[in-house]
């Protein structure tokens, strides 16, 4: 997550880098760094376990953080919870400036909550006496006491049961997935006409198909994810055919060919022009790029649609 020399300078070198996240205790408060993509930007979510001594202190903290945010372009945002604070930080363009930039944002916050007598404890209940452990919960990490870890896991199990009890309407879902995939297919053709094979168009096809299925089918279950992915695969095949037929039509229009002729006779045209290998190469590359761009979305959709979760004690 961090370069070694940056780690030594960041918050006095208190952090241990676990590759997927970093954690340490700084001036009595446990701090966790998680890196997530938000709107195509990499944002560091910095969690500080701190409980306000009262509502007035909590309100004052919000005002303080707002003023701090306005003073730094790298302070992207923040959220104050009952027993922890979450800061959103953007890394400076020049990587070597990261430690100083983050220290300038985090140090005043730590100083403020120390002066205002914020206590450090469990992120769920605020208990500052019970033994605490770090838990990985899906793609984030939390500092919890043993009682709260069991409570959180029970809530995740209840949520899993509730999600699995939901069933989608198959036929309306199919219609929605098809309509959604058409949007991605149109984008695929448009980008191909510009001379590119774009995996992002394939990913959008998958996302739109899933959104369409969920909207029309009124739920997204496991079968909805599978159907959406299969429809997307078929849609990409036809979109690629249309793109190639369009190219053939542009070349043969002067000979009296219509687009319909080019599409129906595409395979013969490919054989005659010895472009069959190029056609399948484009299709293969398109599927590969689609897989790369959408695998995270598909895995996340499967997890969400089945209610499955990952919770374990972290290092």
Domain boundaries, the chain: 4-161, 170-308
Q: DSSP for the chain, please give it.
A: ---HHHHHHGGGGT-EE-SSEEEEEETTEEEEEEEEEETTEEEEEEEEE-B-SSHHHHHHHHHHHHHHHHT-TTEEEEEE-SSEEEEEEE--SSGGGHHHHHHHHHHHHHHHHHHTTPBP--TTT--SSS-EEEEEETTEEEEEEHHHHHHHHHHHHHHHHHHHH----HHHHHHHHHHHHHHHHHHHHHHHHTT---HHHHHHHHHHHHHHHHHHHSS--HHHHHHHHHHHHHHHHHHHHHHHHHHHHHHHGGGT--HHHHHHTHHHHHHHTT-HHHHHHHHHHHHHHHHHHHHHHHHHHHHHHHT---EEE--
Task: Output the pLDDT for position 9.
Answer: 94
pTM: 0.69
Q: pLDDT by residue (tens digit) across 8-49?
A: 999 999 999 998 899 999 999 999 999 987 776 789 999 999
Task: Output the pLDDT for position 254.
Answer: 87
Task: Output the pLDDT for position 93.
Answer: 78
* pLDDT beneath 50: ranges in the chain: none
Task: Output the pLDDT for position 75.
Answer: 95
Q: pLDDT by residue (tens digit) across 270-313?
A: 998 899 999 999 899 889 989 988 898 898 888 888 888 889 99
CATH topology of domain 4-161: Yope Regulator; Chain: A, (3.30.1460)
């Amino acid at each position: 997550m961090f370069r070694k020399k940056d780690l030594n300078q960041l918050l006095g070198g208190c952090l241990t880098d676990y590759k997927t996240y970093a954690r340490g205790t700084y001036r009595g408060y446990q701090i966790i760094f998680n890196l997530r993509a938000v709107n195509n930007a990499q944002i560091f979510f910095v969690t500080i376990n701190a409980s306000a001594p009262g509502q007035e202190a909590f309100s004052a903290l919000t005002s303080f953080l707002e003023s701090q945010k306005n003073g730094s372009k790298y302070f992207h945002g923040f959220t104050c919870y009952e027993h922890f604070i979450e800061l959103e930080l953007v890394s400076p363009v020049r990587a070597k400036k990261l430690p100083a930039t983050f220290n300038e944002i985090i140090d005043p916050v730590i100083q403020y909550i120390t002066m205002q007598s914020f206590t450090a404890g469990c992120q769920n209940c605020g208990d500052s006496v019970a033994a605490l452990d770090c838990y990985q919960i899906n793609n984030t990490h939390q500092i919890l006491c043993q009682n709260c870890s069991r409570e959180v896991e029970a809530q995740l199990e209840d949520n899993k049961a509730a999600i699995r009890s939901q069933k989608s309407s198959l036929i309306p879902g199919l219609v929605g997935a098809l309509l959604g995939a058409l949007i991605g297919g149109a984008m695929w053709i448009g980008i191909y006409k510009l001379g590119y094979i774009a995996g992002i168009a394939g990913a959008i096809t998958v996302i739109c198909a899933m959104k369409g299925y969920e909207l029309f089918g009124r739920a997204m279950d496991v079968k909805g994810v599978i159907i959406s992915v299969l429809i997307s695969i078929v849609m990409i095949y036809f979109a690629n055919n249309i793109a190639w037929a369009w190219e053939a039509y542009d070349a043969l229009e002067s000979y009296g060919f219509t687009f319909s002729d080019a599409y129906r006779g595409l395979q013969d045209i490919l054989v005659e022009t010895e472009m069959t290998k190029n056609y399948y190469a484009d299709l293969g590359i398109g599927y590969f790029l689609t897989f790369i761009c959408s695998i995270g979305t598909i895995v996340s959709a499967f997890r969400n649609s089945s209610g499955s979760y990952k919770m374990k004690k972290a290092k």
